[in-house]
Structure 1
Amino acid sequence: MGCCRGFLQIVSFSLQKYTLILKWFAEFDFIFAQQKRPMSLFLFWLFFGIGILIQAIYLLVIFGKTAFYSGNTPQSTSRNEEGVTVVICAHNEFGNLKTLIPKLFEQDYPIFDVMIVNDRSSDRTKRLLEKMMESFPKLRSVTIKYTPPHCTAKKYALTLGIKVAKHDVMLLTDADCLPETNQWIRKMTAPVRNQGKTFAVGFSGYEHKPGFLNNWIQFETLLTALYYISFGLWKKPFMGIGRNLCYRKDFFMNAKAFKGLWHIEGGDDDLFLNQYASGQNTAIVLDPEATTISKPKETRKEYLIQKKRHLHVGKYYRGSDKRKIGLYSFSHALFWIGGIALLIYLGLAQSWEQFSIVFGIILLRSILLTVIFKAAEKKIQGTKPPKNIWMLDFLYLGYFWILGTISHQAKDIQWK
């Protein structure tokens, strides 16, 4: 990891000096003029070269940590099976809870209960919970009738749920999620119970459905997972997702976890981890038996609202963690912009030898990207990867920069 960290520091330093380098090369513009090669061609090659270099490091070294991960997460010999409370915040989730609650009580774990935080629901959620508590004695609920003006709804609901939780080990998911297996509680809480970890970070995917939108959701979800799982495996964790996250109640309460975050809509999971997670206190649970599956958005409007909220939170990350994502996206843009510009320029100039080199590099990266994604999907979830990864990767160029900019400036972010 020291080598990888050193490389990232060098690259970050180089990018800061990028403008000075361009000015230095501009002083030697007469060389290109004498050779009848415009400065723009040099810049295209420079962009393309920097992009492919950083992309190779991310794909092979950083994301490769997940894709080529061997063995299971190390387990302690301890068989501590202390109690676990599964915490779920629900706002008008009658239909989802009706399916989820019986599924949770199929878990193969001896001591656990389920806490449903009924957050201002106007549907039949309260009546459903009352009825189900008769059938499931380990089901508990707390009802929230209003949210204080200084708090955001999800954080307030989650805090109340954790505060009244019976056990110290908290396992979080959402109302529209389902555990993939009956080993979910056991596998996800093991690092906290048996290894003394503060956080255990897991993966939550989405149901596979036909259509381009769902294929895109699968791609974007897997890419996001490659970020936080890979850096977590490199002992540099910076985020997790509330659909599959474990930590201790005592730590949450003692740290006053949402202090300074109450005004931010979202971030009850990733911003919390961003503040407190470290290589020593956080474990990544990379096991298909420890995953959850969620219902994907089925319209572009719903999806964009969801992603705008997720991307908006990113601007509150620590600077070093912003660079972990930003450096990949920046090099991704340099690679595609430089590569396409070179293909157009060299094609018009009929410089077919150089054209073939650029095209070959783009093709080689597309193959490498597909291999990494396929291997990572198998390790993380044990299912098939998205279709046409190379095409989705190209479209990600516009998605990140356009939607990311809009989300960064957004003022109308809401949970529900």
Structure 2
Amino acid sequence: MGLFLLWFFFGIGVIIQGVYLLMIFGRTAWFKSTSKSSSNQQPEEGVTVLVAAHNEFQNLKTLIPKLFEQDYPKFDVMIVNDRSTDRTKRLLEEMMAKYPKLRSVTIKYTPNHVTSKKFALTLGIKVAKNDVILLTDADCVPNSDQWIRKMTAPVRQEGKTFAIGYSGYQEKSGQLNRWIQFETILTALFYLSFGLWKAPFMGIGRNLCYRKSFFMEVKAFKGLWHLEGGDDDLFVNNYATGKNAAIVIDPAATTVSVPKETWKEYLVQKKRHLHAGKYYRGEDKRKIGIFSMSHALFWVGGFGLLIYFGIGMQWEHFSAVLGIILLRSVLMMSVFNSAAKTIQGKAPKMNPILNDLFYLGYFWVLGSVSYQAKDIQWK
């Protein structure tokens, strides 16, 4: 009976993992753009780049000049200074004198019944000059001077409400950074791939575009005010569809963020991100849950069979199981490397096999803790 269960677990894991890696994630990994270059004869619609910032003096000092290097004729930048106690206010005053298209609004306190970032974003969107809103974070920079043009194109020119993009992290040395690179690509494979299959379920606030008019019409954060986080993925989860959302895959349309330097900082950040998943629609929870369950079944069944056949010295069966594990590992490495090159133009160092095993503990332990957490904070 025990051997049957091991084979059953392993077989189910192999089949489902194969479907995800080839049919779902493969859609992103081997993506080929079919969009045609748009005509420049029509007037470009205005865009407001919106950033909510709390004590981000150093990051804003880098970001603001980068934003004004964008090759787009009609845009402004709105910085929401959210209760900052550092030199952010002074910096914004200096920058606004230098950049006429830079605007800011200052928040001195947050009402008790709402969470800080949602309040900051809502206020910024309300006073934004343009209907097309492009969001990023203070610790991000665009990957090219075409970022605004490419990220907003589906909303401006194709009648979409949402344009969902990718934001990666700076590559640095160390195992933490390699895990961050791996986990970021894996997350992107989920939301980009299902988006390409016309079933979008989340977006990243570091690179997300939508219309102000739609945001105000649906009262976007209605029912979400009490949740810390979810200003991006839960908003997309509630309102994005295969008809009104577009996925933007182009290295020139990405942003690059500053990664966490310590495991403690990283785990606090991911705890907030994973907690938001608790409020996804049931069908969207299953998209991630089926992959993670099959991943666990694959490794539990595979290791169990290797131990069983190794002890029994049944080397033919042992070799067959090991061969399947190695084949899946090679396929996974191929998908991840191809996806990274397609999305961001290069494949970073990320130890796919080691981190694939690490994902077992990450998802089931940190995911469970985050699901039950009540002490989630933005800043």
TM category (shorter chain) comes to over 0.9
Deviations 1:61-80 (A, max 9, x none): 00000011112545555744
Q: Please tell me whether residue 326 in structure 1 is matched to residue 321 in structure 2.
A: no
- Match for 2:30 among 68, 72, 78? 68
Aligned equivalents of 1:283, 1:299: Cα separation in 2: 34
- In structure 1, the partner of 2:64 is 101
Deviations 1:106-132 (A, max 9, x none): 000000000000000000100110111
- In structure 2, the partner of 1:223 is 186
Contact kept in structure 1, 2:146 and 2:253, CA below 8 Å: yes
Structure 2 counterpart of 1:393, one-letter code:
D
- In structure 2, the partner of 1:196 is 159
Structure 1 counterpart of 2:305, one-letter code:
L
From the CA coordinates, give the structure whose radius of gyration is larger. Answer: 1
- In structure 1, the partner of 2:3 is 41
Aligned ranges 1:108-257 → 2 under 5 Å? 108-257=71-220
- In structure 1, the partner of 2:278 is 315
Q: Please tell me whether residue 50 in structure 1 is matched to residue 12 in structure 2.
A: yes
- In structure 1, the partner of 2:222 is 259
Structure 2 counterpart of 1:87, one-letter code:
L
Aligned equivalents of 2:118, 2:202: Cα separation in 1: 16
Aligned ranges 1:290-369 → 2 under 5 Å? 290-369=253-332
Aligned equivalents of 1:356, 1:117: Cα separation in 2: 59
Structure 2 gaps of 5+ residues are none
Question: Secondary structure, in 3 states, of the residue corresponding to 1:402?
Answer: helix
Contact kept in structure 2, 1:377 and 1:384, CA below 8 Å: yes
Question: Secondary structure, in 3 states, of the residue corresponding to 1:140?
Answer: strand
Question: Secondary structure, in 3 states, of the residue corresponding to 1:283?
Answer: strand
Aligned equivalents of 1:208, 1:268: Cα separation in 2: 26
Structure 1 counterpart of 2:5, one-letter code:
L
Aligned residues: 378
Aligned equivalents of 1:295, 1:72: Cα separation in 2: 31
Aligned equivalents of 1:208, 1:272: Cα separation in 2: 29
Aligned equivalents of 1:281, 1:389: Cα separation in 2: 34
Contact kept in structure 1, 2:171 and 2:348, CA below 8 Å: no
Q: CA deviation at 1:387?
A: 3.4
Q: Which moved more, 1:75-84 or 1:344-353?
A: 75-84
Question: Secondary structure, in 3 states, of the residue corresponding to 1:149?
Answer: coil
- In structure 2, the partner of 1:31 is none
Structure 2 counterpart of 1:337, one-letter code:
V
Aligned equivalents of 2:355, 2:165: Cα separation in 1: 24
Question: Secondary structure, in 3 states, of the residue corresponding to 1:86?
Answer: strand
Structure 2 counterpart of 1:115, one-letter code:
M
Q: CA deviation at 1:404?
A: 0.2
Structure 2 counterpart of 1:363, one-letter code:
L
Contact kept in structure 2, 1:85 and 1:112, CA below 8 Å: yes
- In structure 1, the partner of 2:336 is 373
Aligned equivalents of 1:72, 1:307: Cα separation in 2: 34
Contact kept in structure 1, 2:181 and 2:350, CA below 8 Å: no
The higher-RCO structure (CA 8 Å, 6+ apart) is 2
Structure 1 gaps of 5+ residues are 1-38
Aligned equivalents of 2:151, 2:144: Cα separation in 1: 11
Aligned equivalents of 1:176, 1:93: Cα separation in 2: 8
Contact kept in structure 2, 1:373 and 1:385, CA below 8 Å: no
Q: Please tell me whether residue 83 in structure 1 is matched to residue 34 in structure 2.
A: no
Question: Secondary structure, in 3 states, of the residue corresponding to 2:136?
Answer: strand
Aligned equivalents of 1:355, 1:73: Cα separation in 2: 48
